[in-house]
Amino acid sequence: MTPIRVLIADDHPLFREGVAGILDRHDGTSVIAQATSGREAVELAASLAPDLVLLDLSMPDGGIWALEQIKQQDQPPVVAMLTVAEDDDSVFRALKAGADGYILKGVGGRDLVAAVEDLAAGRSYVSPGLAMKVLQALRAAPVKPGHGDPVDALTAREEEILRLVAQGKSNKEVGRALDLQEKTVKHYMTIILQKLQVRNRTEAALIARDRWSQP
């Protein structure tokens, strides 16, 4: 199995090198570079084409700025924030800017590896302690006039796909389960996000889990 190629960006050497050590000791992951600023992270992401980038939020040049720049690349990698910031503003700014995951620095080594593997496989990840906060904010968001529960607007096929995404399946795994091409699943996901009025599959999955876990 080809290891997941990871770029770590954090301006605290001790923490950054500790994360690199954890991932390098795991057979399925390989740290290909370390950056100390947002600008350096953008440059390394462009030149090395990692599979996944872990970005600190508060490093020089800013993690959000780096996230936005990296996501504008022709073939952007998966990007997750790895940070101590768990306030609402930081979480939603990152998700709105295109973050595929949001991992708190208090995570253990085993859970960090699992999160990286999930993200690299195309799944979303938000630290468990933040998931309910994101969901509560989504519930509180105003619904556009004339629209009821947006989940009700999904077709049977879209609902079927969303249920699988809510179970943590990647686009490839959804396609395999439903005998669809991966690009077809991506097309469906774009429509689903628009109908649910959310920005990414992380928020969509949280809505789905809340909806279908109800008795």
- Among 115, 135, 155, the domain boundary falls at 135
**CATH number of domain containing 117:** 3.40.50.2300
Q: Which of 135, 165, 184 is the last residue of a domain?
A: 135
Q: Phi/psi at 53 (nearest 5 deg)?
A: -120, 130
Same domain for 130 and 149, yes or no, is no
125-177 per-position pLDDT tens digit:
888 777 766 666 655 555 555 455 778 888 889 999 999 988 888 888 999 99
Query: Do 18 and 114 sit in the same domain of this protein?
Result: yes
Only one residue has tokens 């599979």, namely 51
The pair of three-digit structure tokens given for residue 167, joined into one six-digit string: 């179970």
Determine the Cα–Cα distance for residues 77 and 17; give it in Å rounded to an integer.
Answer: 21
Q: What's the domain range around 101?
A: 4-135
Are 181 and 119 part of one and the same domain?
no
Q: What is the pLDDT of residues 47-94, one digit of tens each?
A: 999 999 999 998 999 899 999 999 999 889 999 999 888 887 788 888
The residue among 107, 135, 163 that closes a domain is 135
**Same domain as 151, residue 112:** no
14 lies in the same domain as 94? yes
**Has residue 105 got a pLDDT over 60?**
yes
The pTM for the full model equals: 0.70
